[in-house]
Amino acid sequence: MKYAYFPGCSLQGMAAEFDRSARAVCDQLGITLEEIPDWVCCGATPAHATSHLLSVALPAVTLAAVEQATQSGGPATMVAACASCYNRLRIASHEVKEDAALRADVEEAAQVKLAGTVEVRHLLDILRNDLGTEAIRNSVTRPLSGLKVACYYGCLLLRPPKVVAFDDPNHPQIMEDLLTAAGAECVEWAYKTECCGASLSLARPDTVCKLVNDILREARDAGADLIATACPLCQTNLDVRQLDVAKAYGTRYNIPAIYFTQLLGIALGLPEKSLGLNRLIISPKPVLQKLQAAA
């Protein structure tokens, strides 16, 4: 299986461990990720909030690059790991296919030609629906037995559902399916698709702190040892802001927020260094000792 891979800006910076673990896991599972040459930022929330044309034109540059690569035998399916990148690329792809006038404006603004032939998918979708949970189960060498995981999707990964959803937008199970195949116990909780407030990080940090506290509290009350996520902004909020939450609400949760790819990498027996576990603020090592105890 071969896919055109869009790492995005976050995975080249603050979320380098997401990129590192995604590549390592895919390589271990026989999935080839071919990084798209000369990809550009998807624009994420800033472009979306500033200009509709810009929010489509930026992803269009990368979509056009993939289309051009397919003419030389490159993969026609693009995969993104970042929830925000996936959301913006998928929406842009949908809009230029549905709106001929917008496509013309985008082509002029970005100086590209779009045929609308690229399929944009998320890595979770690829792992469950192309590879399959049985293949993951058969590849596990260090089962996540004894770990209770709260799978957190956030607000961007499956919304708007008409365009981006590859699972039930209100009660998704795709991350649970993958991590259960890896041996983890995924808890039921009510906050798996709630917003963490990432877009308000600078404007309203007090609001973000409250939202993060609510999510952490619900995960703790559900009995989770850690939170698994697929979004760099969500992971950063749930990890870094635990110190702010402790100051504001007097509660130290110490619940690691970890990328689902890092958890899968652990189950596949990959070296911790290759997964970037040392980059997390709330260390998962105390929690992962449960694996050693279970073994």
Cα 289 to its chain centre, rounded Å, is 25
Partnered with residue 15 across adjacent β-strands are none
pLDDT tens column, 212-234: 999 999 999 999 999 999 999 99
Which domains does the chain show, CATH number per domain? 2-123 (1.20.1050.140), 142-294 (3.40.50.11810)
Q: Rounded to whole angstroms, how far apart are CA atoms 215 and 183? A: 24
Please give the mean pLDDT across all residues of the chain. 95
pLDDT, tens digit, for every residue of 157-191?
A: 999 999 999 999 999 999 999 999 999 999 999 99
Question: What pTM, to 2 d.p., does this model score?
Answer: 0.96
Summarised one tens digit per residue, pLDDT across range 263-290 is: 999 999 999 889 999 999 999 999 988 7
* Cβ neighbours of residue 259 closer than 8 Å, sequence gap 6 or more: 15, 17, 18, 21, 22, 228, 229, 230, 235
